[in-house]
Amino acid sequence: MIPVTKPFLPPQAEYQEYIDNIWKRQWLTNMGPLASQLEMELKDHLKVQHLLFLTNGTVAIQMAIKALEITGEVITTPFSFIATTSSIVWENCTPVFVDIDPKSLCIDAKKIEKAITEKTTAILATHVYGNPCDVEAIDIIAKKHNLKVIYDAAHAFGVEVNGKSIFEYGDISTCSLHATKLYHTVEGGLIITKDPDMLKKLAYIRNFGISGFDSFAELGLNGKNSEFHAAMGLVNLKYINEIHEKRKALTKLYDEKLKNLKAVKPLWHSNANENFAYYAIVLESEELLLKLKTEMDKQEIFTRRYFYPSLASALPYLPKLELPITEDIAKRALCLPLYYDLTFEEVELISRLMLRIQNN
């Protein structure tokens, strides 16, 4: 069986060393020494000014909306994981969907201004599969209309645009460190801002709004993460370059072996590096996608329709809206297996099988 993804696990003995020390300290959560160390090491690795280690990526988006005091309408993408939209609704705001660019699969910046009304207060855009949005164009629009910008960068760990971390764009960026991501802490997330005052506010929000032993500064929640998760993050960070290089090599092999597949890959941002978080393709037709997926499932080679269906037309708590490009891409987009333990032989097998199914 070949799953679509599998978490990277470091040598167990290395993780156990951290666990043994947690046992000795008996400090399990509430921003212990490992969580603080992880924040420092991630800041250095990612070359960002400020970040906080959180429970997960969804809480990060909710905290971003709350901290920026966003109300009313939020322009967003329908081609993303459900947490992007559900966080907007959870915070009592209204998502306003804008269609995606058919090549990058990110929100189409050229269509954003038409969606702006007097109720619009923010843009929440996703770097799809880690591929950066048109951050320069979005920045211009936001400044022109006095809008806040949040980037859902769940997939974009390690991506840079023009030599600068993708997390440095917008008012706040969020990232997921879930077990399925290329870098993970089992469960976890990050929230990143350039503004030190905003960082302080977010730190209060992460810890129930508490500002002292008997004082409160903000409306808060419990967004903290544990020492056990931080330990996994610290060990995994030692292997991030190795993980990246393996995924890059697997991607290159897929590219070579699948050049005759009736599909295209998303067009990557021209001034950004790739982090190889996913191997996503857009097939010629939904019929071909279903044919491939069905036959590969029989062989226990699992792929994922990511993201399907379009959030604009599938959520029971929102009015249905059909955006033609998103609807079309969502029906034809497919992610193939990609993870550290995947072998080159398995990539060759997957590729041969896909071409055989296509041509039969």
Residue 7 belongs to some domain of the structure: no
Distances (CA, A) of 68 to 64, 98, 150, 170, 191: 6, 21, 9, 12, 13
Residue 282 belongs to some domain of the structure: yes
Q: Which of 243, 212, 235 is nearest to 37 (CA)?
A: 235
Final residue before a domain boundary, out of 195, 216, 237: 237
Regarding beta strands 189-192 and 172-176, do their DSSP bridges make them parallel or antiparallel, or are they unpaired? Answer: antiparallel
Do 257 and 220 lie in one domain? The reply is no
The DSSP code for 154 is: T
Do 115 and 248 lie in one domain? The reply is no
How would you class 177 by CB atoms within 10 Å of its CB: exposed for 0-12, middle for 13-18, buried for 19 or more? buried
Do 34 and 122 lie in one domain? The reply is yes
Do 221 and 273 lie in one domain? The reply is no
> Other CB atoms closer than 10 Å to residue 316's CB: what's the count?
5
pLDDT for 17: 98
Distances (CA, A) of 11 to 8, 19, 136, 168, 236: 10, 13, 41, 32, 9
Residue 225 belongs to some domain of the structure: yes
Question: Residue 342 and residue 250: Cα distance in Å, rounded?
Answer: 8
Q: Which of 226, 232, 126 is nearest to 179 (CA)?
A: 232
Question: Residue 351 and residue 338: Cα distance in Å, rounded?
Answer: 13
Q: Which residues pair with 165 in a beta bridge?
A: 160
Residue 3 belongs to some domain of the structure: no
pLDDT for 107: 98
Do 67 and 124 lie in one domain? The reply is yes
Question: Residue 41 and residue 138: Cα distance in Å, rounded?
Answer: 30
pTM score: 0.97
Regarding beta strands 160-161 and 73-76, do their DSSP bridges make them parallel or antiparallel, or are they unpaired? Answer: unpaired
Q: Which residues pair with 281 in a beta bridge?
A: 334
Residue 5 belongs to some domain of the structure: no
pLDDT for 146: 98
pLDDT for 187: 98
Do 45 and 74 lie in one domain? The reply is yes
Residue 1 belongs to some domain of the structure: no
Extended beta strands in 77-204, E state: 94-97, 120-126, 148-152, 160-161, 164-165, 172-176, 189-192
> Other CB atoms closer than 10 Å to residue 182's CB: what's the count?
24
pLDDT for 143: 98
Do 142 and 186 lie in one domain? The reply is yes
pLDDT tens by residue, the chain, 360 residues: 999 999 999 999 999 999 999 999 999 999 999 999 999 999 999 999 999 999 999 999 999 999 999 999 999 999 999 999 999 999 999 999 999 999 999 999 999 999 999 999 999 999 999 999 999 999 999 999 999 999 999 999 999 999 999 999 999 999 999 999 999 999 999 999 999 999 999 999 999 999 988 999 999 999 999 999 999 999 999 999 999 999 999 999 999 999 999 999 999 999 999 999 999 999 999 999 999 999 999 999 999 999 999 999 999 999 999 899 999 999 999 999 999 999 999 999 999 999 999 999
Final residue before a domain boundary, out of 194, 216, 237: 237
44's tokens: 């250095």
pLDDT for 266: 98
- Which residues lie closer than 8 Å to 56 by C-beta, 6 or more apart? 176, 177, 178, 187, 188, 189
Domain that holds residue 327: 240-359
CB contact at 8 A, 332 and 1 = no
Do 93 and 140 lie in one domain? The reply is yes
Domain containing 105 — which CATH number? Answer: 3.40.640.10
Question: Residue 229 and residue 208: Cα distance in Å, rounded?
Answer: 20
Do 95 and 229 lie in one domain? The reply is yes
79-115 b/e with 16+ CB inside 10 Å = b? Answer: bbbebbbbbbeebebebbbbbbbbebbbbbbeebeee
In total, how many domains does the chain have? 2
Q: Report the largest interatomic distance among the alpha carbons of the chain, rounded to a whole angstrom.
A: 71
Do 165 and 251 lie in one domain? The reply is no
Final residue before a domain boundary, out of 204, 237, 270: 237
Domain containing 260 — which CATH number? Answer: 3.90.1150.10
Residue 23 belongs to some domain of the structure: yes
- Which residues lie closer than 8 Å to 230 by C-beta, 6 or more apart? 32, 34, 35, 37, 38, 53, 185
CB contact at 8 A, 74 and 149 = no
Do 55 and 188 lie in one domain? The reply is yes
HSE of 263 in the Cβ direction (CA atoms, 13 Å)? 29
Residue 6 belongs to some domain of the structure: no
Do 80 and 172 lie in one domain? The reply is yes
